[in-house]
Chain A
Amino acid sequence: GAVVSQHPSWVICKSGTSVKIECRSLDFQATTMFWYRQFPKQSLMLMATSNEGSKATYEQGVEKDKFLINHASLTLSTLTVTSAHPEDSSFYICSAIAGGRAGELFFGEGSRLTVL
């Protein structure tokens, strides 16, 4: 299957700092990428849909000024958690569409953020 890479896989930061997470499609071009958040023992919750060259679409309840998404190329989307707080500690996972079908949605390995 297609490969989606996330970096970093694990990050610890101090409260009030900003953290950037990268999501790359390694062997295909992804016009659409999705960002999910997953708390322990819970399912994935969609945060936003990232479209190459345009503004991201955020789900209800997700602060767009806090979770900045940039999809500047067909292979890279970034999520920046600004002024992170302990409650932002979570597992962030991106996914990308390869081939234009929901069934060809591939996920990255996830990035675990811990805010102290």
Chain B
Amino acid sequence: QKEVEQDPGPLSVPEGAIVSLNCTYSNSAFQYFMWYRQYSRKGPELLMYTYSSGNKEDGRFTAQVDKSSKYISLFIRDSQPSDSATYLCAMSVGAAGNKLTFGGGTRVLVKP
């Protein structure tokens, strides 16, 4: 079993819909949770960064962490075709200098 599980998709939604992404994990020591967006043949771009459980909102993006269930989510409101990309969740045990464990990524396609 992988340490971080993420549905590979593809997830296809119409423009303007809410995109719902999630990851589950097995290591209860993870405390820092990130979401990255990766366009084809590009490096990942950090979208959201949260520590421990709770919600965080940034523009159209909302990240949720439920440590009791070992489950994290990312919601994208008012999705745009430019949101079409692969979304990677990542997490780490510590902060500074700690390596990230990535999920496999979910490919999202927003249709105009």
Bound-complex Cα distance A104 to B102 (A): 15
Contacting pair A105 B96 (CB below 8 A): no
Main secondary structure of the interface of B (DSSP, over half): loop
Contacting pair A103 B98 (CB below 8 A): no
Shortest Cβ distance from A31 into B: residue: B97
B32 within 8 A of A: yes
Contacting pair B92 A102 (CB below 8 A): yes
Shortest Cβ distance from A109 into B: residue: B43
A44 within 8 A of B: yes
Number of A positions contacting B (CB below 8 A) = 28
Instruction: Kindly supply a per-residue 1/0 record for chain B positions 67-108, scoring 1 wherever the CB is within 8 Å of any chain A CB and 0 otherwise.
Output: 000000000000000000000100010111111101111000
Interface residues of A (CB under 8 A from B): 1, 4, 6, 32, 34, 41-46, 49, 91, 93, 95, 97, 100-110, 112
